[in-house]
Amino acid sequence: LGGQLMDRAGGEGHSSATMAMLMKGTAGRTADEIALLLEPTGASMGSGAGKNSYYVNAECLSKDWREILDLMGDVIQQPTFDEGEWAKLKPRILSAIASADDRWSGEMFNRFHEAWYGEHPWSWPASGRAEAIEPLTADQLARCYQNHVSASSGVLAIIGDIDPDAVLTEVEKQFGGVPDHQPESFVVRQPEPVDGGAIYRQTNKRLAAVVIGYGPTVPVTDDEMATMEVMTKVVSTFPSGWLTVALRGDGPGLVYAAWGFHRTGLAPGYWAMAFNTDPTRAQMAIDRSLAVVERLKAERVDEDTLHRAISAAVVTQAMGNQSNAQRAIGAAIDELYGRGYDHADRYIEQLRSVTAERVQAVAQKHLSDPLIMIMSYEPVELEELGAAPQEAAP
């Protein structure tokens, strides 16, 4: 457990930088030696930090599992946080931060998350902020790792063509020394409530991009997750989703791309619709999008639409759980979050049990008082949205 939720003001991106250093050398292996060990086997290994957790993952042929497990144990328990390796990695992280707004979608979501999450850690990209990374030293990264990572807040999942008894024996040998303490306790910080309204952000990109967010919704561990996902598919399954039809199929197309999504984690997140368009069409596209939400709240989804949405949700879930690597990651995360390692199978049944009544009830519960973020290179008329625009420089 950890990731971005462990970052604090002034330390934006520290968790991500810390985990990126794990593959850069251990007490017994240099970064080059780690790469040379992996290359001839065709195995892969990586480390990182997400919104809610840290991770190290690996994939290899079943005949090589002992060697790769030994390397993983070394990477997790004996990272050196070498100053020279950090000097090479830091410019790459700073470059990623500098380019975070290069694409319109990156800029759009970065601005929306700043507005939605405020001082919460999810308000900044996982790579962090330059002013927090620039003065960071390798010794500080080592302390961050020692303070945040422990056996008591971790899960190890291994899936494949293996002998479970042999694997368990090796795991006990390789990971028995992982510290079972965490000086800095993990706490799920809750975002502050967000006021609805409209925000305008100027951009130099030749388009208008819009995010219409609702919430707070529910954390990823909540029983409403399945209904939220089916509701999302009702809106955005191509080509018959309600939002897709409203913006791209009902008369002249208003947008280039449009989709609905639910973004959450161990803390509550938000449900949103997003699209990009020409500034002259933004107002009409926003009006039609808001009408889609009102429709979700006012009427029950018909059986055909519900069936398509459930099928799409089941397919998405199944496609994300096909390979051994996907299954191992999913099992570890589900166990870590308290849902149980077999949650993926049970979740499909939860999706299939969603009813039209539940979709309507969830829409009525969560989809009100939206925050609308409009990013455009030309001003967009906002008076009819019922909130005055907040101007911002490019």
Categorize the per-residue pLDDT at 182 as very low, low, confident or very high, splitting at 50, 70 and 90: confident
**pTM across the whole model:** 0.92
Residue 393 has pLDDT above 80, yes or no: no
Residue 179 has pLDDT above 90, yes or no: no
Q: What are phi and psi of 335, to 5 degrees?
A: -65, -40
Indicate the residue type of 234. Answer: V
Residue 383 has pLDDT above 70, yes or no: no
Categorize the per-residue pLDDT at 45 as very low, low, confident or very high, splitting at 50, 70 and 90: very high
- Choose among 365, 216, 240: nearest CA to 302: 240
Q: What pLDDT, on the 0 to 100 scale, is given for residue 150?
A: 87
| 256: number of Cβ within 10 Å | 13
| 392: number of Cβ within 10 Å | 13
Q: What pLDDT, on the 0 to 100 scale, is given for residue 181?
A: 78
Residue 59's contacts (CB-CB under 8 Å, 6 or more residues apart) are 43, 44, 45, 324, 325
The C-alpha atoms of residue 112 and residue 374 are separated, in whole angstroms, by 9
Helix and strand tally (H, E) in the chain? 15, 7
First to last CA, the chain: 36
Instruction: Taking residues 75-84, report their average pLDDT.
Output: 96
Q: Which residues of 41-54 are buried (b: 16+ CB within 10 A; e: fewer)?
A: eebebebbbbbbbb
Residue 392 has pLDDT above 90, yes or no: no
Percent of the chain with pLDDT strictly greater than 70: 97
Q: What pLDDT, on the 0 to 100 scale, is given for residue 387?
A: 38
**Ramachandran area for residue 197 (φ above 0: left; ψ -120 to 50: alpha; else beta):** left
Q: Helix crossing, 65-77 with 31-38: angle to 10°?
A: 160
The CA distances from residue 144 to 79, 93, 136, 139, 329, in Å, are: 12, 17, 11, 9, 24
Q: What is the CB-side half-sphere exposure of residue 70 using CA atoms within 13 A?
A: 9
Q: What angle do CA 154, 155, 161 make, to 5 degrees?
A: 155
Residue 321's contacts (CB-CB under 8 Å, 6 or more residues apart) are 327, 330, 344
Q: Which residues of 153-162 are buried (b: 16+ CB within 10 A; e: fewer)?
A: bbbbbbbeeb
Q: How do residues 84-102 score in pLDDT, each as one tens digit? A: 999 999 999 999 999 999 9
The C-alpha atoms of residue 234 and residue 228 are separated, in whole angstroms, by 10
Q: Is the sign of the CA dihedral 152, 156, 157, 162 positive or negative?
A: negative
Cis peptide before 183 (omega within 30 of 0): no
The C-alpha atoms of residue 110 and residue 191 are separated, in whole angstroms, by 16
Q: What pLDDT, on the 0 to 100 scale, is given for residue 75?
A: 96
Q: What pLDDT, on the 0 to 100 scale, is given for residue 386?
A: 43
The C-alpha atoms of residue 116 and residue 350 are separated, in whole angstroms, by 29
The C-alpha atoms of residue 6 and residue 136 are separated, in whole angstroms, by 16
Q: Strand (E) positions, the chain?
A: 44-49, 54-59, 197-202, 208-214, 255-263, 270-277, 371-376
